[in-house]
Structure 1
């Protein structure tokens, strides 16, 4: 019976299964009426099946798709159309290090009038910007969680712009105050992430939006895939980015009549400060152990918390140090005549989003765990329940007895 079906049939079956399964997953997760969506997907499936059976053999369809992709890529070999940067002003938050620092330098080199905010005007990042950038760059000391500083930055920017509007607002400032499971994450970390990543960004956006509307310009926000997908041990950070993503998507609809284009950039893993600092993780780990209630620490185990810290350190050490994909995405969002709503900056994101969108939750969750933090320890209470803690204790006692006998 199996011989009646050749390889192209199984390829076809796999493709249809993935897309129909993805549709069913979205319907079940939406908790909305599944009728219209299900009928539409079943109709599309039947149509594809009829076309397959009567018009396009499997291999021919694959060849046709490959040919179309080749022709499309050849038609886009030239550089994408771009608006001029000269005479355009852009305001960037969080330029002490990382994406903001790299973007400020690059946008200045393209001819933008850059307003770069830093937390420390005498810090290394600020001095580097002053040394490497032109006189067009303006440094501003701004903590985006402080409304008075945001308002002062607006006044300083207006004073330099004159009657000119603000072409670009790049919301880059953010923090990742996270070091473990949601239950182990301190409430102060949840609040810190929300204050900077969400409320701070909303404050800056609302404050500078009149200037952006005046120029019919662009709003570019650096977010994270953790705001779309349940990365383990990133509950506080991911929740703040999820709120930010919804805010940005809402702005995209609301500002379209004003001629303002809104884009979100989703970077993969990059080596940004302070996550690349070994001392930072040690301090976070120490603070967490001192702050957790004794009963909760007993349930999870200090070794469990330490392993999580070690995995975060290892992940940060192997992150990509080259920020150019993110910086290039910022430039495209600012200068493309038709910017995209979303830019995926970095390798592996397309596969991650494909699996998250179309595969069952059991598979997508397992993929995230393997890709991000490959934990080997269970919480201590679960080990005790399964007998692992007892077995380990017996093994340790037996080993100690053998050593004593040898002595």
Structure 2
């Protein structure tokens, strides 16, 4: 019976099984909770339906399902998101430098790693600020605060000298590149060139400066580089072009470093968080300042084309999205620990719910569908730019006038 089926059937079978296995690989590594069993069942259902459409015999159908299951299990075994505690490296005595510890992920990570027994070097913008004082008050004497603006090479070099002086002959086990900024929000045409440069200065050039400066210490210890990036660096989130472009450049840099540093024994990982409440994200006054600066910086003609109400809606949508973000930062801090202590750290980690699903849709669905998903997930804009609304109104009036003229002509006839 099986001799009746040509080679293309077997090729189709193999390709479909690999597709399902690849999809399951992403799902099982994405922290989706109860979703994987559902998606696995849907995948198996699609597989059965396609094979049944080809009228394959029951034995071959069973073989296909077993092959798909084997692919899933193999992928899960190779890319499981966590490691057993017994396999993890011990944190005690390992030195880690974390950038951007005034607030957010950096602040939470500095506390968490200090509590685990790491020797933490935490960089802050302001040694007298609330974040720095909180770290001094709550952390152990093993934590060292360093005042560093990562866009200033002199301050980065001074931090390197201070770190070397305290470490002595010991190398640096981990560098956590966390410092980052979203200078502005809005459409590309509405974003000032200074906004793009501001994001690039911090998120890309600043991180590059710190990484290059501390690489000798990391190579000495055969340590780890862990970089907090963003899904906006891989996917076109509306109104985040300046931030996303800087993160895209950062992602490529980190991926290149991962290959180059492998011979040195330095492991490199990227963490992609979902939406969390960090820094100014939930501060309404912050969004108001951003909105005011945007209005003041726009040429009058451009403001007229887009309309102040269009910009106001964007601001309100950002504020609403940020206010609904997760205040619990532990998924990110725990992932940082995984990347620092795992014997075989992953190249890429998803931290928080929904990120894995987003990348699954981005990887396997048509661009039009994934783009629409992003727009519905992130900013659900209802207003079009003012010039387009006027144009639509003009077209509608023109259409109505044409219809009225035709009706008059019909009456005259």
Superposition TM-score tier, normalisation by shorter sequence: 0.7 to 0.9
Contact kept, 8 Å, 1:52 with 1:58, in 2: the verdict is no
Does the alignment pair 1:226 with 2:229? Answer: no
Contact kept, 8 Å, 1:166 with 1:214, in 2: the verdict is yes
In the alignment of these two chains, the number of paired residues is 354
Does the alignment pair 1:355 with 2:361? Answer: yes
Unaligned runs of 5+ in 2: 1-11, 24-46, 398-413
Contact kept, 8 Å, 1:81 with 1:337, in 2: the verdict is yes
* SS of the residue 2:140 aligns to: coil
Q: CA deviation at 1:61?
A: 2.3
Q: CA deviation at 1:70?
A: 12
* SS of the residue 2:56 aligns to: helix
Q: TM-score, normalised by structure 2?
A: 0.79
Per the alignment, residue 142 of structure 1 pairs with 148
Of the three residues 320, 330, 352, the one matched with 1:314 is: 320
Per the alignment, residue 53 of structure 1 pairs with 56
Distance 1:186 1:18, change over 3 A: farther
Quote the Cα distance in structure 1 between the aligned partners of 2:288 and 2:261: 44
Quote the Cα distance in structure 2 between the aligned partners of 1:306 and 1:58: 57
Distance 1:225 1:388, change over 3 A: farther
Q: Superposition pairs for residues 159-198 of structure 1, below 5 Å?
A: 159-198=165-204
Quote the Cα distance in structure 2 between the aligned partners of 1:266 and 1:260: 20
Of the three residues 48, 69, 73, the one matched with 1:65 is: 69
Q: CA deviation at 1:69?
A: 5.4
Per the alignment, residue 129 of structure 1 pairs with 135
Per the alignment, residue 347 of structure 2 pairs with 341
Write the deviation string for residues 332-359 of structure 1: whole angstroms up to 9, x where unpaired: 1100000000000011111111111111
Q: CA deviation at 1:16?
A: 4.7
Q: CA deviation at 1:72?
A: 6.5
Q: CA deviation at 1:178?
A: 2.3
Contact kept, 8 Å, 1:380 with 1:389, in 2: the verdict is no
Of the three residues 377, 382, 386, the one matched with 2:392 is: 386
Q: TM-score, normalised by structure 1?
A: 0.80
CA RMSD in angstroms comes to: 3.2
User: Which range is displaced more, 259-268 or 346-355?
Assistant: 346-355
Distance 1:68 1:343, change over 3 A: closer
* SS of the residue 1:53 aligns to: coil
Does the alignment pair 1:280 with 2:265? Answer: no
Contact kept, 8 Å, 2:157 with 2:213, in 1: the verdict is yes
Contact kept, 8 Å, 2:305 with 2:385, in 1: the verdict is yes
Distance 1:60 1:288, change over 3 A: same
Distance 1:256 1:66, change over 3 A: closer
Q: CA deviation at 1:57?
A: 2.8
Quote the Cα distance in structure 1 between the aligned partners of 2:18 and 2:259: 30
Quote the Cα distance in structure 2 between the aligned partners of 1:368 and 1:89: 39
Unaligned runs of 5+ in 1: 1-11, 24-44, 392-407
Q: Superposition pairs for residues 2-401 of structure 1, below 5 Å?
A: 16=16, 19=19, 53-54=56-57, 55-57=59-61, 61=65, 65=69, 79=85, 81-387=87-393
* SS of the residue 1:169 aligns to: strand
Per the alignment, residue 403 of structure 1 pairs with none
Distance 1:18 1:337, change over 3 A: closer
Quote the Cα distance in structure 1 between the aligned partners of 2:171 and 2:356: 36
